[in-house]
Amino acid sequence: MISLGSVSINFVILFTLLCGIFAEAGTERHVLGRAVKLRVLVDKVMQEEEGWIAKEWMIREARDAGFNVYSPRRGFDRLEDVQQVSEWCRKYGIFHMPWMRGSLPIPSGPAADGKRYTLANGKVQQLWSPNSDEFWAWISKYIIEYAKLSARNPHLIGIFLDFENYSPGHEGNCYTLSYDDLILSKFARSFGIKLPSLAPPMRKPWLEEMGLHPSFAEFQISQWRERCRALRREVDRFNRDFQFCIYPAPGTLFMVQACYHEWSSATAPIILADPKVYGRPREVKRLEDALRGNREILLRNMEVPKEAGILFLYMGGVDPATRGADPEFCARNALMISEITSGYWVFYEGPKYKETHREYFKWFTWANRAISGN
């Protein structure tokens, strides 16, 4: 026989537990980065243990450490894996963003002739131009499939797009204006210009000499925006809540002039991931001074999207492999970042799972509990 007091106590316990479950499953998706700080783990440490395949135990371990978004560093192109990780995230009450590079290496042979990403100084990067159909067909294929999956499982919340330039002999991040044959020919046709044969290093100087460079820049940016807008429109057919997270913030010309405006919406504000505070500023030894310096960097960088007048969420990054990023610094850096932004993300590289991982995760658990108020 159960007394009234016991029933009352048990009811309170049950009610409290149910409220916690409902709050986690029913409301957190829409308050991530707002009332609930983003705590994103981009995993290269646990994944490496399993030959770069995500496994259930990784999601569980990330959840237990207080992360609320899991992003496996590899596997974006294995859609069955993406779906499975999303299911595990649903099971453990956290969320999923596949990590994907926002650049595509060119194949060998002549297929990419005239379609390579070409810098103002004439250097050609071994990447498809951001003006090429090939680049946009590739990036759209995966993102649209993620949007379809996210419509069935709201724990897949978006895409983490990496616009770092990984081309051999790379210069800068992706993308600034490209001076490839594709965009020059399209510009010339649109403006009725007779375009001479120009070697890559001579293209920008010729446009400037002819007084055409401002029009060329505006034309190319408008092409980017049209492509970004078309992708956002296609994604919205399946899920208007699907979010684009882009790195490295505050951003390149392509990110600031195109992605900012076309991928952010009232229901799905763009997430900007800033790596400028990965580790300690140069020649700063005291932890407090390093945190203060990183805080100033973030506040300054956040002015860029503010001036653009867009809806956005901002995250600072932590990376254990960078200068001075010992476990305690990483945790305190994460806490500082989350006090002034929408949360933080850790590019989790450097530690070895069977060696230093436990110490790093002990400190990240401390930070995540402090951030979440638990």
Q: Which amino acid is at 281?
A: P
pLDDT of residue 28: 78
Whether the pLDDT of residue 54 is over 50: the answer is: yes
Taking alpha carbons only, the member of 234, 297, 231, 276 closest to residue 258 is 231
Asked if 250 contacts 256 with a C-beta cutoff of 8 angstroms, the reply is: yes
Q: What is the assigned CATH class of domain 36-96+275-374? A: alpha beta
pLDDT of residue 216: 98
pLDDT of residue 17: 35
* pLDDT tens per residue across span 15-35: 333 333 333 344 478 899 999
* pLDDT tens per residue across span 226-266: 999 999 999 999 999 999 999 999 999 999 999 999 999 99
The average pLDDT across 60-79 equals: 98
Cis amide prior to 248 (ω within 30 degrees): yes
Taking alpha carbons only, the member of 331, 336, 337, 322 closest to residue 279 is 322
The average pLDDT across 122-132 equals: 97
pTM for this model (two decimals): 0.92
Domain ranges of the chain: 36-96+275-374
Whether the pLDDT of residue 9 is over 80: the answer is: no
pLDDT of residue 2: 27
Mean pLDDT of the chain, nearest integer? 92
pLDDT of residue 15: 32
Q: Which amino acid is at 276?
A: K
30-39, 40-49, 279-288: which has the minimum mean pLDDT?
Answer: 279-288
Phi, psi at residue 71, to the nearest 5°? -135, 100
Classify 198 as helix, strand or coil.
Answer: coil
The average pLDDT across 88-113 equals: 96
* pLDDT tens per residue across span 293-327: 999 999 999 999 999 999 999 999 999 999 999 99
Classify 294 as helix, strand or coil.
Answer: helix
At a CB cut-off of 8 Å and minimum separation 6, what does 159 contact?
A: 97, 98, 100, 142, 143, 146, 242, 243, 244, 245
* pLDDT tens per residue across span 161-183: 999 999 998 999 999 999 999 99
Torsion, CA 57, CA 59, CA 65, CA 67, rounded to 10? 180
Torsion, CA 316, CA 177, CA 187, CA 270, rounded to 10? 0
How far apart CA 78 and CA 84 sit, in angstroms, is 10
The average pLDDT across 259-282 equals: 96
How big is the chain, counted in residues?
374
Whether the pLDDT of residue 347 is over 60: the answer is: yes
pLDDT of residue 29: 84
